[in-house]
A and B are shown apart, each in its own frame.
Chain A
Amino acid sequence: MLAAWRTVAQRRQCPRAPALLAAARHLASQTAAASTQSASVAAEVPSSSSGSEPSARLLSSSQQPEERMDFPGGSVPFTAAMSFLGGTFSPRAPLPCYRTIDSAGLAIADADIPHELDQETAVKMYKTMVTLQTVDVIFYEAQRQGRFSFYMTSSGEEATAIGSAAALTNDDVIFSQYREQGVIMYRGFSVQDMAHQCFGNIHEQGKGRQMPIHYGSKALNFHTISSTLATQLPHAVGAAYALKLQKRNACAVAYFGEGAASEGDFHAALNFAATLKAPVVFICRNNGWAISTPATDQYRGDGIAGRGPGYGMASLRVDGGDARAVYNATAAARKIAVEQQVPVLVEAMSYRSGHHSTSDDSSRYRAAEEMRQWRARDPVARFQRWLVDQGWWSDAQDTSARQEARRDVIKALETAQKAPKPPLSAMFEDVYARMPWHLEKQQAEVFAHVRTHPDACPADIPVK
């Protein structure tokens, strides 16, 4: 990863080369210090101009062994200079954003591609994106029509979800937040499964327990979605710890947004994952907005990836709209996590093109121009362009794929809507592994009540 940054920085096409070089050197000195076992804190002399070498004062102090101290918290060099780092004092250059395809969909020459996409995977990725876009549009409309209570789209983030999902194995356990339906779809959750869940009918394995979009599948190793923000982060660390003790060739993956990263659970999970050496990949979808809160109000540091090194964790920022880059970033992160048994942080930069949910109207707090600009960088269109350039896709295939997706989605909705709801008896099941007697008693009371007051229970809801 570090080598990748250096290469990027050295490329003459890149106008930010000097700043990137400084960042690369800075990180190199940190990594070198960190590799001496204990976490080390590098006191630094500020460099006001980009690309300058560390000052001679610091170099001389580090060459005199008696000028260091091994505190319990880490080995640190001393300096006679007092210099603040961060905030308004010598702000660090932001971590650069790795990409392999530009905004128009043209491949960037000489990009690092340690994990090349084969045709089969790439086409599967794209077709899933097409289906996802179709589902998002039609299900959103279905909610507006009152067919179910709630929906969340993932417009603008299709590449983040699907690009990352494609780089994982089915043994990797996924903990998501709520805007990663592309991940479960890539793994095999069908449009029909999604529709059943949104209607909470008798066919969905959730037995009508959860709000729409709270998908889950044990078979697909996708943990049922929980509304509480960021709680999935420590869960993923715990699951990774279990995988570690079980000596499995697998990792846990946790998805979350930049807003959720403000929760205390984020700090606890990342800090703890590093101390536990848990094989977990944290994937942040930085889409710029947490309902109406822009990222500029969410944090002042260098996004989410900028926090990773502070926890002693390998971190990478990637263009979340570039499916090929996300694929590579995730594959590389997974390799580090599983082979070295350590956590890794990936921040995918993108944009939430849609509203937060069907309960939101983002035009009330966002500029139409901003939204228009981002729609023009649609990740699906970018990947399509690249796919066509490889000779792996055509306009005719696109038209027919979209028509087929539309047919499937509409049919799935109709089928799901007509299916019966779960029976009343399902209400008391699964509170515990085995129903305790006090719930059996309550269930019997409910049944007795319904028998003597048949209009208490709607006619289309079976009792048992």
Chain B
Amino acid sequence: MQRLGALLRRSQGDAVLAPQLLRTYSTMQMTIRDALNSAMDEEMARDETVFVMGEEVAEYQGAYKITRGLLQKYGPKRVRDTPITEAGFTGIGVGAAFQGLRPIVEFMTFNFSMQAMDQIINSAAKHHYMSSGAITCPIVFRGANGAAAGVAAQHSQCFAAWYSSVPGLKVLAPYDAEDTRGLLKASIRDPDPVVFLENEILYGESFPVDQAVLDKDFVLPIGKAKVMRSGTDVTLIGFGKMVGYNLKAAELLEQEGISCEVVNLRSLKPLDREGIAQSIRKTHRVVSVEEGWPQCGIGSEIVSIAVEECFDDLDAPPERVTGAEVPMPYAANLEAAALPTTDHILAAVKRVMGK
């Protein structure tokens, strides 16, 4: 219990305690869409150098309505519709950040960010280092990442692994509304370039938020994972939508007498290696769950941490649950078969438990 308390305090800063333990005063439900919208709105009100640009963000209120109302409130200079050129508007956002503005660049989905990859990595990520600190790039790249529903190969790729390997970038992946508000506000205030990976499926989903989360200065620390549910038998590690799957799996497994600790990574770069290792040393077993492809995925890094830093504490080999190694098919049955389900997580946990 003491270790749990220490873990919680260390992993959350002084912001909010785990909803699992202290949900008594949840006064509100908030969708991810509203969490994103309110976070951007508050940061734009707080700092006039913050502005939003992307395709359809202004007049159309956002392709997924994430930027609803912002044009009306802040005007066309601070909410800019762009021509269709990811490489172009990313480069322009980077240049504006170099010159002292704080752009939030929306990619309709991160699949389209591949067009802008050079600007994100060779310009945004590396210039602070290349210029020895003379140049800063306080930019946020945000948008939908990973699988949606029925949008097939070119609209369903997960970019967590690619971006999180780049030094100079910070990469965040929120799960619930608290994550979303706290991490997006932290990203906008951060001096470094941040890749903010959302999930389209979660945009409409509601999560409980309390007064602290609704505060206009609510920020979460970047680089810290959160223990969503404490347990003793196995650690389930995931980010974004998969955290929900892990929580569901944990509930089902509890009925079978298996106690799962669910870790919400929140931050993919910096990765909370120490937090992850602490949990694995406590439970002695780990299953990593992700939607993306297996080779060189986030799970590969989790397994490396388990083996490199927790080898003597492991009671079973680490396991990964990942998406199938195929471009995402379209047909509903094939798409479902290509993505992790709670059943896959249950099976993996039982394997590591030797059951």
Contact = CB atoms under 8 A, between A and B. Distances in A.
Contact of A241 (B92, B118, B129, B134): B92
A437 interface: yes
Interface stretch (B81-89, B178-186, B231-239, B311-319): B81-89
Contacts of A269: 88, 91-92
Contacts of B65: none
Contacts of B191: 432-434
A272 B130 contact: no
A217 B92 CA distance: 21
Contacts of B270: 436-438
Contacts of A275: 83
B99 A243 contact: yes
A48 interface: no
A243 B87 CA distance: 21
B123 A272 contact: no
A205 interface: yes
B91 A239 contact: no
A213 interface: no
Given A231-B122, A234-B92, A272-B85, A224 B130 contact: yes
Interface in A165-217: 173, 175, 205-207, 209-210, 214, 216-217
A234 B95 contact: yes
B77 to A, nearest CB: 6
Nearest to A280: B95
Contact of B98 (A239, A246, A429, A434): A239
A432 B126 CA distance: 9
A238 B93 contact: yes
Contact of B92 (A237, A267, A432, A437): A237
A175 B99 CA distance: 11
A264 interface: yes
A346 interface: no
A422 B67 CA distance: 46
B83 A272 contact: yes
Given A246-B100, A269-B88, A430-B128, A238 B95 contact: yes
Contacts of B273: 438
B263 interface: no
B130 to A, nearest CB: 5
Nearest to A218: B134
B308 to A, nearest CB: 12
B354 interface: no
A242 interface: yes
Given A228-B123, A231-B122, A432 B128 contact: yes
A265 interface: yes
Contacts, number: 154
Given A228-B118, A432-B170, A239 B96 contact: yes
Interface range, B side: 35 or more
Interface residues of A, number: 48
Contact of B192 (A175, A207, A433): A433
Contacts of A237: 91-92, 95
Contact of B85 (A226, A268, A431, A437): A268
A432 B192 contact: yes
Contacts of A207: 132
A233 interface: yes
Given A231-B118, A268-B88, A205 B134 contact: yes
B168 interface: yes
B136 interface: yes
Given A210-B130, A216-B134, A272-B85, A238 B99 contact: yes
Interface string B121-141: 011000111111111100000
B108 interface: no
A275 to B, nearest CB: 6
A223 interface: yes
B101 A206 contact: no
Contacts of A429: 132-133
Given A272-B83, A430-B128, A238 B92 contact: yes
Nearest to B192: A432
Contacts of A241: 92, 95-96, 101
B128 A224 contact: no
A433 B136 contact: yes
Given A226-B122, A239-B98, A431-B167, A206 B88 contact: no
Given A271-B85, A272-B83, A437-B223, A231 B123 contact: yes
Interface string B269-295: 011011000000000000000000000
A338 interface: no
B97 interface: yes
Contacts of A224: 127, 130-131, 134-135
B264 interface: no
Interface centre among A231, A276, A430, A432 (most CB of B within 10 A): A432
B134 A231 contact: no
A258 B118 CA distance: 20
Interface in A1-20: none
A226 B99 CA distance: 16
A94 B266 CA distance: 57
A357 B25 CA distance: 67
A409 interface: no
A432 B129 CA distance: 8
A276 B87 CA distance: 16
Nearest to B273: A438
B161 interface: no
B119 interface: yes
B98 A235 contact: yes
Contacts of B168: 431-432
B114 to A, nearest CB: 13
B8 interface: no
A271 B88 contact: yes
A245 interface: yes
Contacts of A209: 129-132
Contact of A436 (B99, B130, B223): B223
12 contacts: A207-B132, A216-B134, A231-B91, A231-B119, A234-B90, A239-B95, A242-B95, A243-B99, A267-B85, A268-B85, A271-B83, A276-B92
Interface of B: 51, 77, 80, 82-83, 85, 87-101, 103, 118-119, 122-123, 127-136, 167-168, 170, 190-192, 223, 270-271, 273-274
Interface of A: 173, 175, 205-207, 209-210, 214, 216-218, 223-224, 226, 228, 231, 233-243, 245-246, 252, 264-265, 267-269, 271-272, 275-276, 429-434, 436-438
Given A224-B130, A269-B88, A432-B170, 20 more contacts: A206-B131, A223-B98, A226-B122, A231-B123, A234-B88, A235-B94, A236-B95, A237-B91, A238-B92, A238-B93, A238-B94, A245-B101, A265-B91, A265-B119, A268-B92, A271-B83, A431-B128, A432-B168, A432-B192, A438-B271
Question: Which 8 A-B residue pairings sit nearest by Cβ, starting from the closest?
Answer: A268-B88, A238-B95, A234-B91, A235-B95, A238-B96, A242-B99, A239-B99, A433-B191
